[in-house]
Every structure is written in structure tokens, then in C-alpha cells.
């Protein structure tokens, strides 16, 4: 017992003095692991009580904010970094895949399908972000037919296989500025299953027969073989849409005509037109350089792809409903307000919408989706990155082959609800990591350069006498006390006083002009 206490004290002394920590035996390693895990997870760590009992022996390491103190000490010792993604460790998300997973991938069974429709000679394209490596979707045009292709992951991964079970446990792919933790091994998500250029891949494709005005006349699903001829970025696609001399201008404009028709039909059915919302996209490189871009999600090509995916998901939902195939539908109730039609298409309007819209929920039966204006909707366009999409796809392809269901009603419902919980957790991590790196960017770009005056738009007065605002240059919200009355929509100037990267918070004051 005495020896253990001596080991504990030696480790605490090294941490307190910020010296290199030397681990000499397994016992010392175990003690140090407990301390490190507490620094990352805090009181959520299962052995936090034990660690706190050690730390309290040193008065300088007592509360308050003892977790932060220990973390900073371990950074000084070289055992952690300020940029370490603590959120991932707290969630116990596995970063690596087990060896058995790779063994199974090396022996994936080949699936022969005599009923597959060969569309590999058809000109096919993808539109994604410039950094995308897991390409789920593509499209083609053949005279008066538009094809929407989704990679057939169900033909690669067998139900209840080791890879399938691992994908279920992860739920979805985690996207962070510093990197990606995929739902599926990269050999599948970025190679075997990805619709990469010049590679023939199996897809579950939606065939849309369209009229002169872009209207959908008929639709059907087919198992296909397609080959992506060119991977476009959103920026490239936007340029093509404005360049009438470009060889792909006609193709993209014809598709846009149909997507605009689909969007109009939804709005006429009661869809709520979401207002323009920019998005902060943060990336980092190995040198630690932070790049911040403001992405316009309402560019022509973004709207085109978004509407193709909505159309595909709606058609899938309609197929499931008409054939009585068990599924988990997304439904959204109307908000308890008649103010939506009076909300302005401004930054203030976006803030108001976030307060009144109800979240979409899962349901065993098809129902109204208020935001989309559709009477049935599922998610099936991201089988490489969301497990519930893979299961919906598997349900469809299995029915097309056998006229039987791959999952019962309870099975598919439980899977989708479980994955939904996982996705919410992953989304929280993504927001937290994006916020961390953005605040670090603000600190380096503005605060450390003493460039602290920033223009903002007032959003709403809160009950604590502080006013919510959004920075004019970045879609980032903060709040502070203003020295004079302000109204929603008013342009104001705020002073960036400080940034707490540990708490992911900013401190602003009103800079009266």
C-alpha cells in the first residue's frame, strides 16, 4: 500500500512540476492512465473518485476547475495537446477497426446479380465538396430520363456480418476539422463502395421519366451498374451552370429544370421554404494551419443536389409505403404558430425559425413532413456514412430480389432510433470541434493581433439583459450587454474581449461608436 502511495505521489509531483513523466512499471502506468483519463473526461470518468482522492493530497491541485488544471499540466508535460479531441474520447468512439474487420473485407463474397441493368456506358457525374472521398450519389441523363444513383452498399456488406455489426455500433461517419472517423473502413467507404471516377459500381438507381417542363411523368427503381465519368465540385458545377459554352451546361440545366419543378411542387403542397443559411467550414492541416470558409448552402449546384436527394428519399418512402415494407419514416409536425409566413428572409429570420420549428421524428408509419412538404419521407441516400440509410437500402434491394423483408417492423424501427441517438451525439461532437477550431482561428486572426472590433447584427433581447447577435462576417452567434437599446436587425459593433478554448466560449462587449 505504501509503495502505491509513493508511486502516486511521484506522478503527482512530476505533473505538478511539469516535468517529463517517466513510467517505470505497470502499476505506475495504470495510475497515470487514470489521471490522464480524468483530465480528458472529468467526473464522467468511472475512476474519477479515485483520481480526485490522489489530487486532493496536493493543495495546489484542489478544486475549483481541477480537471482543467490537470489537463493543462499534462499539456506542459507533453502528454496531451491543447488540440486533442476530448469529445471523441468521452464518447468512447473507436478510431481504429479491429483486425477481424479487415480479414472479413479481404474475403468479401462476390454477389452475382443477373437482373442488374448495365448503365456503365451512360455519362454519369458526381457533385461533392472538394475534399469528399466517400461518394454516395451520382446522376445521369439519357434523353428524357434522369437517373439518380446511390451506391449499393447492401451488395457489399452482408447483414449481421462483422463489418455490418461494427457499422451499427458506430452509427455514422464523424466529420471533424482535424479529420474523419468513418462508419465503414476506408477501403469500403472511399474505394470499394465509393462512386469514384472511371470505376464501375453497383447502385440502387431511381429512373425518372420527365417532360418538356421538367415534370416527372413516371418513376421506377432498378439495380444498376454505373461508371462515374467525372467528379465535380460544387464550385465547378456552379461555374458550368453559368457557362453556356461548357459541354456539361445542357446536362446540368436539364437536371436543374426538373429539380426546380420538384421544389415548386413541394412548396405548393405546403413545404416551408428554409431561408438562406451560410455555414462555417473549418479545416486544419498537419502544420496546424486553420482555414475558415463560409459555405453558401443555397448555391445553384447545392440546391440541385439537395433536391435530387430529397426526390430520391421521397420516392423510396413511397415505394416502401405502397408495398407495405417495414420502414422508419421521418415526420415533422407543423409549428404552433402562424408567424412563419411573416418571418423575413434575413439573419434575424433564420434566428426566429430556429425557435419555432419542431424537430423531425421517426415513425413506423408514413406521415407529413412539414419542412419538406411531403407525405412520406425516409433517409436512404447516404449508405456509406449513416447505418440507418444502409438498412433502408437493404430493405429495398432484398424486397426487389425476394419479395420478402430483410427486417421486421420492430427491427428497422429499433435500428433507426438507435442510430438517430448516435447521430445526435456525433453531430454534437462535430459542432464542438468546429467551434473549437473556429474560436482558435478568431484568437489567432483577431484577438492576438489586437483586431477586436467586429460588426454584428442584433438578433434578440434575452431575459438576462443581454442581446443575442450574429457576427456579420461569420455565421457565429454571441451575446453581450449593450450600452443602449438595440432592435433586431440593427447593425452594431462588438468588441472581442476574450476567448476560452477550454469552455468553447467568447466574451464580447458593446463597442459604442
Quote the pLDDT of residue 232: 97
| CA–CA separation, 99 and 388 (whole Å) | 24
Residue 511, C-alpha cell as written in the block: 463597442
Question: What CA–CA distances, in Å, run from 354 to 168, 304, 359, 434?
Answer: 30, 24, 10, 20
Quote the pLDDT of residue 22: 86
- Determine how β-strand 230-233 pairs with β-strand 124-128: parallel
pTM of this structure: 0.92
Helix, strand, or coil (residue 47): coil
Residue 312 in this model has a pLDDT that exceeds 60: yes
Out of 59-73, 437-451, 489-503, least confident range? 59-73
Neighbours of 83 (CB within 10 A): 16
pLDDT digits (tens, 9 = 90+) for 114-171: 789 999 999 999 999 998 999 999 999 999 999 999 999 999 999 999 999 999 999 9
The phi, psi pair for 498, rounded to 5°, reads: -170, 165
Kindly state the helix (H) or strand (E) to which residue 366 belongs, with its residue range: none
Residue 478, C-alpha cell as written in the block: 454571441
Return the axis-axis angle of helices 26-41 and 2-17, rounded to nearest 10°. 50
Kindly state the helix (H) or strand (E) to which residue 456 belongs, with its residue range: strand 453-461
| Cβ pair 390, 154 in contact under 8 A | yes
**Alpha helix (H) residue ranges in 357-453:** 387-402, 409-442
Our CA angle for 239, 231, 106, nearest 5°, is 165
pLDDT digits (tens, 9 = 90+) for 59-84: 666 667 899 999 999 999 999 999 99
Where does the pLDDT of residue 328 fall: very low under 50, low under 70, confident under 90, or very high at 90 and above? very high
Percent of the chain with pLDDT over 90: 74
Helix, strand, or coil (residue 381): coil
Quote the pLDDT of residue 430: 97
Q: Domains in the chain, ordered, with CATH?
A: 2-80 (no CATH), 99-439 (no CATH), 452-510 (2.40.50.140)
Quote the pLDDT of residue 37: 95
Helix, strand, or coil (residue 161): coil
Quote the pLDDT of residue 104: 94
pLDDT digits (tens, 9 = 90+) for 238-249: 999 999 999 999
Positive or negative torsion for Cα 456, 459, 460, 464: negative
Pick from 479, 504, 473: nearest CA to 347: 473
Residue 1 in this model has a pLDDT that exceeds 60: no
Amino acid at each position: 500500500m505504501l509503495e502505491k502511495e509513493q508511486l502516486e505521489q511521484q506522478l503527482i509531483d512530476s505533473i505538478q512540476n511539469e516535468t517529463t513523466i517517466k513510467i517505470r512499471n505497470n502499476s505506475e502506468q495504470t495510475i497515470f492512465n487514470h489521471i490522464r483519463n480524468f483530465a480528458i473526461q472529468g467526473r464522467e470518468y468511472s475512476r474519477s473518485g479515485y483520481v480526485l482522492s490522489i489530487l486532493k493530497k496536493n493543495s495546489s491541485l484542489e478544486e475549483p476547475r481541477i480537471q482543467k488544471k490537470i489537463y493543462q499540466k499534462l499539456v506542459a508535460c507533453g502528454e496531451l495537446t491543447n488540440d486533442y479531441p476530448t469529445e471523441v474520447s468521452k464518447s468512447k468512439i473507436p478510431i481504429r477497426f479491429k483486425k477481424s474487420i479487415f480479414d472479413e473485407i479481404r474475403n468479401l463474397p462476390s454477389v452475382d446479380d443477373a437482373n442488374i441493368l448495365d448503365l456503365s456506358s451512360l455519362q454519369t457525374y458526381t457533385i461533392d465538396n472538394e475534399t469528399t472521398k466517400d461518394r454516395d450519389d451520382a446522376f445521369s441523363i439519357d434523353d428524357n430520363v434522369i437517373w439518380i444513383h446511390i451506391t449499393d452498399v447492401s451488395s457489399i456488406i452482408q447483414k449481421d456480418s462483422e463489418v455490418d455489426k461494427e457499422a451499427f455500433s458506430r452509427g455514422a461517419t464523424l466529420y471533424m476539422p482535424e479529420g474523419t472517423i468513418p462508419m465503414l473502413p476506408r477501403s469500403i467507404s472511399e474505394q470499394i463502395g465509393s462512386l469514384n471516377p472511371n470505376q464501375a459500381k453497383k447502385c440502387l438507381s431511381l429512373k425518372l421519366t420527365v417532360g418538356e417542363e421538367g415534370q416527372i411523368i413516371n418513376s421506377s427503381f432498378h439495380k444498376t451498374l454505373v461508371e462515374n465519368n467525372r467528379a465535380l465540385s460544387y464550385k465547378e458545377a456552379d461555374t458550368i451552370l453559368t457557362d453556356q459554352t461548357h459541354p456539361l451546361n445542357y446536362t446540368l440545366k436539364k437536371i436543374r429544370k426538373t429539380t426546380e419543378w420538384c421544389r415548386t411542387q413541394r412548396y405548393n403542397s405546403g413545404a416551408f421554404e428554409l431561408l438562406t443559411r451560410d455555414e462555417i467550414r473549418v479545416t486544419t492541416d498537419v502544420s496546424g494551419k486553420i482555414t475558415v470558409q463560409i459555405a453558401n448552402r443555397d448555391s445553384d449546384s447545392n440546391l440541385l443536389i439537395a433536391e435530387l436527394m430529397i426526390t430520391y428519399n421521397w420516392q423510396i418512402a413511397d415505394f416502401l409505403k405502397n408495398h407495405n415494407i417495414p420502414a422508419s419514416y421521418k415526420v415533422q409536425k407543423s409549428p404552433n404558430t402562424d408567424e412563419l409566413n411573416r418571418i423575413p428572409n434575413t439573419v434575424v429570420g433564420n434566428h426566429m425559425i430556429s425557435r419555432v420549428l419542431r424537430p423531425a421524428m421517426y415513425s413506423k408509419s408514413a406521415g407529413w413532413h412539414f419542412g419538406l412538404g411531403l407525405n412520406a419521407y425516409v433517409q436512404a441516400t447516404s449508405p456509406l456514412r449513416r447505418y440507418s440509410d444502409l438498412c433502408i437500402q437493404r430493405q429495398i434491394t432484398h424486397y426487389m430480389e425476394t419479395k420478402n423483408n430483410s427486417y421486421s417492423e420492430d427491427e428497422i424501427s429499433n435500428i433507426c432510433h438507435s442510430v438517430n441517438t448516435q447521430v445526435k451525439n456525433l453531430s454534437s461532437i462535430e459542432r464542438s470541434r468546429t467551434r473549437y477550431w473556429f474560436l482558435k482561428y478568431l484568437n489567432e486572426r483577431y484577438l492576438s493581433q489586437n483586431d477586436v472590433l467586429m460588426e454584428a447584427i442584433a438578433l434578440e433581447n434575452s431575459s438576462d439583459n443581454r442581446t443575442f447577435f450574429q457576427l456579420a462576417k461569420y455565421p457565429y452567434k454571441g451575446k453581450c450587454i449593450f450600452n443602449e437599446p438595440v432592435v433586431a436587425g440593427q447593425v452594431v459593433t462588438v468588441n472581442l474581449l476574450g476567448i476560452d478554448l477550454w469552455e468553447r466560449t467568447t466574451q464580447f462587449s458593446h463597442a459604442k461608436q
